[in-house]
Amino acid sequence: MSLGTSFGRVSSNQSVRQESSRSLIYLARGRIASMSRAFHTLESAKLPDWLPPWLKRPSKQYALGLFPTPIHRWNPPGIPEDVEFWIKRDDLTGMQLSGNKVRKLEFLIAEAMAQGADTLITIGGIQSNHCRATAVAARYAGLDCHLILRNSRQAAENDPGMVGNLLIDRMTGAHIHQVTKEEYAKVGGKKLGEQLEQQLKAQGRKPYVIPVGGSDSIGTFGYLAATQEILDQAGKEAFTDIINACGSGGTTAGLALGNALSGMGATIHAYGVCDDEDYFYDFIDGLYRELEATPDRIGKDARAMLVAHQAKGAGYAISKPEEMQTVIDVAQTTGIIFDSTYSGKAFHALREDIKADPGYWKGRKVLYIHTGGLFGLYSEASELQKQLEVKEKSHRLVVAAE
> What is the Cα 169 distance to its own chain's centre?
18
- Averaged over successive runs of 10 residues, the pLDDT of the chain (402 residues) comes to 39 35 40 63 96 96 97 97 98 94 98 98 96 97 97 91 94 97 95 98 98 97 98 97 97 98 98 97 98 96 98 93 95 96 97 98 98 89 79 80 82
Cα separation, 163 vs 375, whole angstroms: 9
Closest of 135, 137, 113 to residue 208, by C-alpha: 113
Q: What is the CA radius of gyration of the chain?
A: 21
Marked catalytic residue, from 23, 34, 98, 128 = 128
Residues in the chain: 402
**CATH, range 118-205:** 3.40.50.1100
Under 8 Å CB-to-CB from 28, ≥6 apart: which residues? none
pTM of the model: 0.90
Cα separation, 323 vs 346, whole angstroms: 9
H helix or E strand, kind and range, residue 30:
helix 16-34
pLDDT at 382: 76
pLDDT at 36: 62
Cα separation, 131 vs 248, whole angstroms: 13
Transcribe 182-242 into DSSP letters.
HHHHHH-HHHHHHHHHHHHHHTT--EEEPPGGG-STTTTHHHHHHHHHHHHHH-TTS-SEE
Q: Where in the chain is the domain with CATH 3.40.50.1100?
A: 3-99+216-373, 118-205
Cα separation, 236 vs 242, whole angstroms: 13
3-state secondary structure 109-141: HHHHHHCCCCEEEEEEECCCHHHHHHHHHHHHC
Q: How many CA atoms lie within 13 A of 243 on its CB side?
A: 26
Cα separation, 124 vs 323, whole angstroms: 22
Class of domain 3-99+216-373: alpha beta
Decide if 128 is catalytic. yes
Strand order in the sheet with 267-272: 71-73, 84-88, 365-369, 241-246, 267-272, 307-310
pLDDT at 19: 41
pLDDT at 28: 37
Transcribe 62-78 into DSSP letters.
E-----SPPEEE---TT
Asked if residues 142 and 349 have their Cβ atoms less than 8 Å apart, the reply is no
Closest of 139, 163, 137 to residue 151, by C-alpha: 163
pLDDT at 49: 97
Cα separation, 244 vs 267, whole angstroms: 11
